[in-house]
Amino acid sequence: MSPAASGFTPHGEPPSYFTFAGLTSLGVPHVTTTRHCVGIGAAAGERSPFEGAAGEMVEGAGLAVERAAWARQVHGADVARVDGAGGFAGQVDALVTTTRGMPLAIFTADCLAVVLVDREAQALAVAHVGWRGTVRGAAQAAVAAVVAAGARRDQLHAAISPSIGPCCYEIDAPVIDALAAAYPEHWRSWTTPSARAGRFMLDLWAANTTLLVAAGLDPARIENPRVCTACRLDTFYSYRKGNRGRLATIAALP
């Protein structure tokens, strides 16, 4: 299925960013950038990662780039609440806000970016989730934090960005051991044996969908176009495929 057919809508030719149909229907301004969005910087400190053409694109999509909040992501499960003012939020992998018009940004190049929003309660979270974040419970921590900010679990809408898919994500024993220790009842349903002995293909989409549902989300409110970054090198960056660029998923409360 093409991204557009799944409700993941391209903007530009070639597309500089995509939007999710579900988030759009909720009136949530947001983007997931592509490799054709030039100028995305490394989110490692207080300097804005949105300058030049990237900043102009974000502004054009209805997001106030000067108010954006971001973090230095460390593959953990810590969450920072950012209200009032944006900017650098520290070394965390999820951000939460109840402030309207403040864009929250997550950076990826194979990992998942997860957006969580309760439009009526006016609470928003974004999270960076790779295999380490999955093991450490980053998605669940983001749900808990946005619920603490006023969201209702059964009213949360989730959107999962393009990431490396089970078609391309081969893992070895250390990753399997960590997943099995964290989720002994589930890890087998998230993996299939690869063509190479002792290795498996991991479905991070299925894993985090399972964990979001276990955290109280309605499966019908989880939006996932299942677009693989490693398969679509014409459009996205993939760390596993040797790319060092970064994609940004940015969302704000309207």
Average pLDDT score over the chain = 94
Model pLDDT, residue 222: 98
Model pLDDT, residue 4: 57
HEC profile of 89-108:
CCCCCEEEECCECCCEEEEE
| All domains of the chain in start order, with CATH | 4-164+204-251 (3.60.140.10)
- Contact between 78 and 93 under an 8 Å Cβ cutoff? The reply is yes
Helices (H), 172-235: 173-182, 204-214
- Tally the C-alpha atoms within 13 A of residue 228's C-alpha that lie toward its C-beta: 14
The larger pLDDT score, comparing residue 52 to residue 202, is at 202
Q: DSSP state, 38? A: T
- Pairing type for strands 94-97 and 79-81 reads parallel
Q: How do residues 22-65 score in pLDDT, each as one tens digit? A: 999 999 999 999 999 988 876 667 788 888 888 999 999 999 99
Q: Report residue 2's pLDDT band, with 50, 70 and 90 as the boundaries.
A: low
Say what the pTM is: 0.95
- Contact between 25 and 19 under an 8 Å Cβ cutoff? The reply is no
Token pair recorded at residue 46 = 């207080």
Cα(66)–Cα(131) distance, integer angstroms: 31
Q: How do residues 149-178 score in pLDDT, each as one tens digit? A: 999 999 999 999 999 999 999 999 999 999
Instruction: Give SS3 for 176.
Output: helix
Q: How many residues does the chain have?
A: 254
Cα(186)–Cα(116) distance, integer angstroms: 23
Instruction: Determine the angle formed by the axes of helices 138-148 and 204-214, rounding to 10 degrees.
Output: 40
Q: Provide the β-strand partners of residue 17.
A: 11, 33
Q: How do residues 126-151 score in pLDDT, each as one tens digit? A: 999 999 999 999 999 999 999 999 99
Residue whose C-alpha is closest to residue 19's, from 80, 62, 52: 62
